[in-house]
Amino acid sequence: MKLPEAISLKLFDRHGLPHAAWMTLNDEIQLTSKSETEKLVRALGLTGSHDRVVVKVDAAVSGKMKSGLMAIGPLDELGPKITEMFQRARKIDLEYEDYLVEEFIEHEREYFLAIKAVREGLQVYFSAKGGIDVEGDWGSVGSYLIPTERVLPMNWPTEELAGLIQPSSVLSFLEEALNLFVLEDATYLEINPLAQVEAGSKQVEAGKGQAMPLGIVMEVDEAAVFRHPEWEELRFKDQGLRQTAREKRVAQVDLEIRGSIKLVEVPRGSQFTVHRRNQLCPP
């Protein structure tokens, strides 16, 4: 089950992982309202509406910047860009209800980091290139398999991983992310970019550098919901492809019966297709 990015951020909060200050909005007009803009300035710790922020659709989608589903700029200038972002999504039959507004994090280095559950354990992917740079150079991505016998006790092979992952702040972040991955029954976690925020930034304690996730794609095992009653409060919801009228009717029936039923129609298609999950890390 793919999680909206806001839900992933709440899980990061629960496990004490760092992230930028953020708010979720569900109305394209809200950024044109002076009162809403002032609320965002306070919530994100900005000095004023002229500060730069990041705006993106709240969904587990890789490559938001390249797809036009993300914008960066002064808070008081982003209203038209948000409208354009939603219009672009609807043209390709994507429907998103919410978007995230995050503080802009100053940084110099970006990395790519991903964790994928496989039969043999957990596959870790890392590249010293992050953001849109890694998408043009998948050859820069290295990998390391953490065997199953080291996963359940969460006994991470730190020395071996250090051969793949530098600097030490990113390695420390990975260990915390691996703990979250196991405890939340995740199946996939991609962080791109993972930024190196230097000491002296307002987000980092004096004298310490820190790895900061600026983009999160996370999937969890839906079959593990019985182990996570706390998930209920996170209000998981599906976003993405617009549902057809028949899909909506079946979804309503699914809510009313004890069993489970689901219908997915092929949009404008006349043949069966093979669907492969869109994941940035190599298979």
- Which tens digit of pLDDT belongs to each residue from 215-267? 999 999 988 888 988 887 666 655 555 566 777 777 777 767 766 677 766 65
Asked if residue 272 is part of any domain, the answer here is no
The partner residues of 123 in beta bridges, in order of sequence, read 116, 145
Residue 145 backbone phi and psi in degrees, to 5: -95, 120
pLDDT at 49 over 90: no
Choosing from 204, 225, 246, the residue where a domain stops is 225
- What proportion of the chain, given as a percentage, has pLDDT over 90? 37
Q: What's the pLDDT band for 84 if we cut at 50, 70, 90?
A: confident
Q: Does the predicted model carry a pTM greater than 0.85? A: no
Q: Which residue has the tokens 């969890």?
A: 220
Q: What's the pLDDT band for 207 if we cut at 50, 70, 90?
A: very low
Given this model, what pLDDT does residue 151 score? 95
Asked if residue 98 is part of any domain, the answer here is yes
Asked if residue 265 is part of any domain, the answer here is no
- Own/partner contacts of 226-234, CB < 8 Å, gap of 24 or more, are 227/185, 228/184, 228/185, 234/7, 234/10, 234/11
180 and 123 inside one domain: yes
pLDDT at 184 over 90: yes
113 and 205 inside one domain: yes
Domain that holds residue 204: 109-225
Comparing 26 with 13, the larger pLDDT belongs to 13
92 and 113 inside one domain: no
115 and 156 inside one domain: yes
Asked if residue 138 is part of any domain, the answer here is yes
Q: Is the peptide bond before 167 cis (omega within 30 degrees of 0)?
A: yes
124 and 193 inside one domain: yes
Choosing from 103, 136, 169, the residue where a domain stops is 103
Domains in the chain, number: 2
124 and 184 inside one domain: yes
Angstrom distance (rounded) from CA 156 to CA 167: 17
130 and 159 inside one domain: yes
Asked if residue 64 is part of any domain, the answer here is yes
Asked if residue 38 is part of any domain, the answer here is yes
Choosing from 195, 225, 255, the residue where a domain stops is 225
Residue 50 sits in a domain of what CATH number? 3.30.1490.20
Q: What's the pLDDT band for 283 if we cut at 50, 70, 90?
A: very low
User: Which run of H or of E encompasses 22?
Assistant: strand 22-25
Given this model, what pLDDT does residue 188 score? 97
Tens of pLDDT along 135-177? 778 889 999 999 999 998 999 999 999 999 989 999 999 999 9
Asked if 246 and 237 count as a contact pair (C-beta separation under 8 A), the reply is: no
Given this model, what pLDDT does residue 125 score? 96
Given this model, what pLDDT does residue 122 score? 98
118 and 97 inside one domain: no
Comparing 122 with 134, the larger pLDDT belongs to 122
For residue 58, which of 239, 266, 192 has the smallest C-alpha distance? 239
88 and 124 inside one domain: no
Q: Which token pair is 202?
A: 């307002």
Asked if residue 43 is part of any domain, the answer here is yes
Q: What's the pLDDT band for 273 if we cut at 50, 70, 90?
A: very low
Mean pLDDT (the chain) is 81
Average pLDDT of the residues in 127-131? 90
- What proportion of the chain, given as a percentage, has pLDDT over 70? 79
pLDDT at 81 over 90: no
Asked if residue 25 is part of any domain, the answer here is yes
186 and 151 inside one domain: yes
Given this model, what pLDDT does residue 127 score? 95
Given this model, what pLDDT does residue 236 score? 61
96 and 157 inside one domain: no
42 and 134 inside one domain: no
